[in-house]
Amino acid sequence: MAGEWTPINLGAVCSKIGSGATPRGGSDVYLESGPFALIRSQNVYNDGFHHDGLAHIGEKHATELDGVEVLKDDVLLNITGDSVARACQVDPRVLPARVNQHVAIIRPDSERLDPRFLRYFLVSPEMQAKLLSWAGSGGTRNALTKGMIESFDVPAPKDIEEQRAIAHILGTLDDKIELNRRMNETLEAITRALFKSWFVDFDPVRAKAEGRDPGPPQPLADLFPGSFEDSELGEIPRGWEVKSLDEIARFLNGLALQKYPPTETRSLPVIKIAQLRTGNTQGADQASADLDQDYVVADGDVLFSWSGSLECVLWAGGRGALNQHLFKVTSTTYPKWLYYLWIHQHLAEFRHIAASKATTMGHIQRHHLSGAKAVIPGFDLLTAADRHFGPLIDSIPRLLVQSRHLGVVRDELLPKLVSGAVRIENPEAFLGRRA
């Protein structure tokens, strides 16, 4: 039978509760890469550790922060500012690491309070509401103090094995989500590298022209020409064409959706640039569901933001309504991977154009799509290449959708498990079966 639950005081069971500092010299001493990571609030999210924006410091500045060394399994809690109360565990791949003054390290005795159980307790809806309330009660700036953290009582199973079993269930879901994320990173990198080699750098054609092995397997290699011809872009493979991005795909701009308010019973979340960045529609505005189907976004669609933060993504956040400032990119002639990857080839150039605009929000215009050129192979090669690129590109949103569904299951289970509403019978046997 499951055992009793008891309040566990963090101050009594933690060997470390404390925040760090900014190294002397501030951001001027940050490195793009280095021997020590410096974890800041932008790396700490409730859904896990985010690597974007991770700073690094050298040994000299890390030594100054030896008192806030981050260890494996440490729980990190944002304690100031707009990100206050966000919590996660450190990704061991970034160690050795230090934290700055906006992040607290919480290091419980793992034989009395499982660190992963603590992490899930802190991100539960009930505890997040409490943390945000406490953080906003002390002044104009949201803040959680060391004293507040030390005073936390964590209701938890007295049996450490039950804590670990709860953490194992939730952690397994998060581990699969993280595995999917890494798989997608790999798939994107492989797909882009292969596309660039074949259709931008023309490596197989150059190899054939020089009498070398072209690389791709037979009979695919036979479909690459062995010579070049002149074009407006210079030399391109013989028989291939130069086309503009807006010739190979339709770029449909979204609607000003405030003109299409939702009804009481039928609505769609509005997909704006913010939703494009997060990959989901949590907290999104709502619009009427009675839109022309062209303006309804579905999983797997290619979305391209042409203003603000220029991004091109394979959408996997569920059905939604296409807002202005976003293109839905489609084609009835060419495969999705071709126009998706050619957009990415021009993305750096588009961002440079947008950054040079003397306006509050940089953007590109349709003539920039016309000016952006793509080199298109012949029909037979395109058809054969589709058998390689199509499954790779299709698997990316499929994994993202799977992760979205796993996240829903985790979010439904989490408050029930960490509150004791759902119990695990015989946790030692449960863990033993999964060892």
Per the prediction, the chain carries an average pLDDT of 92
Q: What is the pLDDT of residue 222?
A: 95
Q: Kindly tell me if the per-residue pLDDT of 272 is higher than 80.
A: yes
Mean pLDDT of 351-375: 87
Predicted local confidence at residue 140, as pLDDT: 61
> Between these two residues, 410 and 2, which has the higher pLDDT value?
410
Cβ atoms of 78 and 44 within 8 Å: the answer is yes
Q: How confident is the model at residue 23 (pLDDT cuts 50, 70, 90)?
A: confident
In this prediction, residues 96-107 reach a mean pLDDT of: 95
> What pLDDT score does 433 carry?
67
Q: Which long-range contacts (CB under 8 A, 24 or more apart) does 227-236 make?
A: 228/202, 231/375, 232/373, 233/373, 233/375, 236/202, 236/375
Identify the CATH number of the domain defined by range 5-156: 3.90.220.20
| pLDDT of 359 | 57
Question: How much is the pTM?
Answer: 0.87
**Two tokens at 386?**
């589709």
Instruction: Note the pLDDT of residue 312.
Output: 96
User: What's the count of helices (H) and strands (E) in the chain, helices before strands?
Assistant: 13, 24
Pick the CATH number of 246-376 from 3.30.200.20, 3.40.50.620, 3.40.50.300, 3.90.220.20: 3.90.220.20
Residue 137 has pLDDT above 80, yes or no: no
Fold: same for 5-156 and 246-376: yes
pLDDT value at 422 more than 50: yes
The angle at the Cα of 124, spanning 123 to 125, to the nearest 5 degrees, equals 110
Q: What is the CATH number of domain 158-211+380-435?
A: 1.10.287
Cis, peptide link before residue 204, omega less than 30° from 0? no
Q: Where are the domains of the chain?
A: 5-156, 158-211+380-435, 246-376
Cis peptide before 397 (omega within 30 of 0): no
Residue type, 327: F
Q: What is the mean pLDDT of residues 110-135?
A: 94
| Highest-confidence segment of 53-67, 192-206, 416-430 | 192-206
Q: Which helix (H) or strand (E) holds 119?
A: helix 115-123
Whether the predicted pLDDT of 276 surpasses 80: yes
Strand partners of residue 241: 376
Instruction: Name the pLDDT band for 1 (thresholds 50, 70, 90).
Output: very low
Residue 52: band (very low, low, confident or very high) from pLDDT cuts 50, 70, 90: confident
pLDDT level of residue 360 (50, 70, 90 thresholds): low
